[in-house]
Amino acid sequence: MYKGITFSASLMCIDWLNVEKQIKELEESLVDYIHYDIIDGNFAPDFTMGSSIVNLVQNKTSIKSDFHLMVDEPSRIFDAFNVPKDSFFTIHQEACRNLYRDLIYIKQKICKVGVALSPATNIDTLEYVIEEVDNVLLMTVSPGYMGQKLVPQVLKKVEQLKKLREDYKLNFKITVDGNVNLENIPKMIDAGSDNLVLGSSGLFRKDRSIKKSIELIKECIDKII
DSSP helix/strand/coil, 164: helix
Which one, of 10, 31, 32, 14, lies nearest residue 22 by Cα?
14
Non-local CB neighbours of 218 within 8 Å, separated by 6+ positions: 2
Catalytic-residue membership of 190:
no
Considering 46, 167, 177, 222, which one is annotated as catalytic?
177
Query: Are residues 166 and 192 in contact, defined by beta-carbon separation less than 8 angstroms?
Result: no
Return the half-sphere exposure (C-beta side, CA atoms, 13 A cut-off) of residue 165. 20
Describe the chain by its helix, strand, coil percentages, rounded to 5. Answer: 40, 20, 40
Catalytic-residue membership of 72:
no
CA distance 180 to 187: 10
Considering 37, 40, 66, 134, which one is annotated as catalytic?
37
Non-local CB neighbours of 60 within 8 Å, separated by 6+ positions: 20, 23
User: Catalytic site residues?
Assistant: 37, 177
